[in-house]
Amino acid sequence: MKSIKKMLPALGLVLGATLAMAMNFANNPTERYAEDPASGTEVWYDLTDITPGPTTYQCDEEVDETCSHMDSNFLSNEVEEGEFIKNGSLPLATP
């Protein structure tokens, strides 16, 4: 019984660290935009609230490019990494 009492502070520390890591969520912006490289001109799509998939779009993570941005320009921060692949109709980004 005494050995269990001696281990309580260490168990509390482990539990606290586990809960802290469980609550540490990555920043996932809700707004995201992608430029269609196949269009030949600057055509940006609004990917906000669109789930990647076979009927929408995908990011080929094997290619070292920026798939989507936080705004509809190349200077904005990266949201997803990879090559943007358009699989279906997507809404155009409004300027």
Q: Please tell me the distance from the alpha carbon of residue 67 to that of residue 81, in angstroms, as a whole number.
A: 5
Q: What percent of the chain has pLDDT over 90?
A: 33
Q: What pTM value is reported for the model?
A: 0.64
Question: How confident is the model at residue 57, as a pLDDT?
Answer: 93
pLDDT of residue 28: 54
Q: What is the pLDDT of residues 14-32, one digit of tens each?
A: 877 776 766 665 555 578 9
